[in-house]
Structure 1
Amino acid sequence: MEDRESALRDRVRHVLREHPGSQRAFAEQIGLDATKLSKSLAGTRRFTPAELTRIAEVGDVTVNWLINGSDEAETVAAAPQRSAVRPRTTDAHEAGRYQQILDAAWHLIAERGYHAVRISDVAQACGISAATIHYHFPGRDDLLTEALRHSVRQAFDRQVAELHSIEDAHERLLRLVELQLPKPGLLRLEWSIWLQVWNESARNPKMGVLHSDSYTRWHDTIARTIREGQQQGVFVADIDPEDLTVPLTALIDGLGIQVLTDRPGRSVERMRQVLHDYVDREIVRH
């Protein structure tokens, strides 16, 4: 375990060396006190899952690489398909500018709605020209496409960071459920992006393909967790994992939409309880 933690610290140091600016500036950018970053690098405290996710985002790497040393390493969550991942740039300045634009566009789309966001709104939020936005995002549809990819990567990184140390598949499945609840903040904004992608996918075949590839990652993560739970003997063994995954993901989707649209009697707490009851009733071996 210590070797793994030491390798993780080495890879974070690599990110720091490749990133422009000081270690203190990097700590500020990821929202971490500089002293805590120093202690984590020295091995006297551990990086939290949220910190690893932010380090990966700012450093333009994946949490899978930080923890396991490879983007393609077999891990607790299914990796995004290639169509759902933006190719990386080797230019640190360009990567930083792109991330700034993407962060602004992602938040504006999530908060206002895709059709209410103009290129000029994103430019104003970033304090740059519309021409700079167009350089990175030639058309407005590209903003929603990359917002989805951004959400997919965030979810994958968050799942790897949160789940990699959880051996028990039952506990891991409940944690996956928790990570999918539309709680105020980041998760609710991600749900907003997905709702808009679902809507656009119904009329735009190109978006539909990207949505399908992106959703497959989430489906496969649930399926592999259920399969592992069957191997551990904690989940029912006589049902195909796919036959357990389809209704569970559909239930999560439906309840999430009801919570997001403020249907009376539907809350995050109620959603959590319904999903826990379903897992216990239909998936857990008694």
Structure 2
Amino acid sequence: MTDTTETTDELMEATYAALCKHGYASLRMQDIADESSKSKATLHYHYESKQDLLYALLDHLTDSFADRIETLEGETPAAQLLALIDAYLEPAADDSAAEFWTALLEIKAQGPYDERFRAELADFDRMLHGRVRSLLEEGRDEGVFRADVDPDEIAEFLVTALNGAQTRHVAVDHPLERTQRTLETYVRRELLADDADETEGRFE
């Protein structure tokens, strides 16, 4: 790993930690520097402003999540689709994770006013939609999902449900587990082909 890569990784981790701790509106470059071994001047050497660091962080998080859902557990597209839903709706393990989702929601709220945030968020949305659609197409072609499944339409529904569940969880503390269970039931009851045998490893 090069020094540049190490520095970038450290600054992304520091920005993530500071964002979780302080939130979008109150975040300062000094807060980010305090979470790293770098000085505020060093941060400004690599990124002109806090906004540039946040752009880089959102890009970094998008790439990380894309890598995570590219290799999903499960022997079938149906099992992998459930693994993707679980990955997106996994309850926060600690307070910092919960704070991060809150901060990320603040970033999303900047989308209507910041063209670059909006473009990054749109890229993330397309990535998630594309991954869900590819699993649905693969499952339909293999006979795991019903032949009349419309991958694009169902992917649109699932992505909307996933994003809505996260927003509702952050805003009013609605349990993510409820949406997880509902979407799992939807996949099993509405998408699986009639002859898909869950007991013989086609689904689990």
Which TM-score bucket, shorter chain as reference?
A: 0.7 to 0.9
Relative to 1, partners in 2 of residues 1:180 and 1:172: Cα closer, same or farther, differing over 3 Å?
same
Q: Deviation at 1:278?
A: 2.1
Q: State the distance in 1 between where 2:163 and 2:9 align.
A: 28
Q: Deviation at 1:93?
A: 1.2
Q: Deviation at 1:256?
A: 1.7
Q: State the distance in 1 between where 2:44 and 2:11 align.
A: 10
What is residue 198 of structure 2 aligned with on the other side? none
Unaligned runs of 5+ in 2: 195-204
Which protein, 1 or 2, shows the higher relative CO under an 8 Å CA cutoff with sep ≥ 6? 2
4+ residue segments displaced more than 4 Å: 186-190
* Percent of aligned positions that are identical: 24
Q: Deviation at 1:175?
A: 0.5
What is residue 158 of structure 1 aligned with on the other side? 68
TM-score norm. by structure 2 comes to 0.85
Task: Please give the residue correspondences for 1:197-216 in structure 2 after superposition, counting only pairs within 5 Å.
Answer: 197-216=107-126
Which of these residues, 184, 190, 193, is aligned with residue 282 of structure 1?
190
| Residues 119-170 of structure 1: per-residue CA shift (max 9 Å, x gap) | 011112213221100111111111221111111122122223444xx33011
**More off after superposition, 271-280 vs 212-221:** 271-280
Q: State the distance in 2 between where 1:136 and 1:221 align.
A: 33
What is residue 184 of structure 1 aligned with on the other side? 92
Q: Deviation at 1:192?
A: 3.6
What is residue 273 of structure 1 aligned with on the other side? 181
User: Are positions 1:248 and 2:158 aligned together?
Assistant: yes
| Residues 75-112 of structure 1: per-residue CA shift (max 9 Å, x gap) | xxxxxxxxxxxxxxxxx112211211110101221342
TM-score norm. by structure 1 comes to 0.62
Which of these residues, 132, 142, 149, is aligned with residue 232 of structure 1?
142
RMSD of aligned alpha carbons: 2.0
- The SS at the match of 2:35 is helix
Does the CA-based 8 Å contact 2:55-2:116 persist in structure 1? no
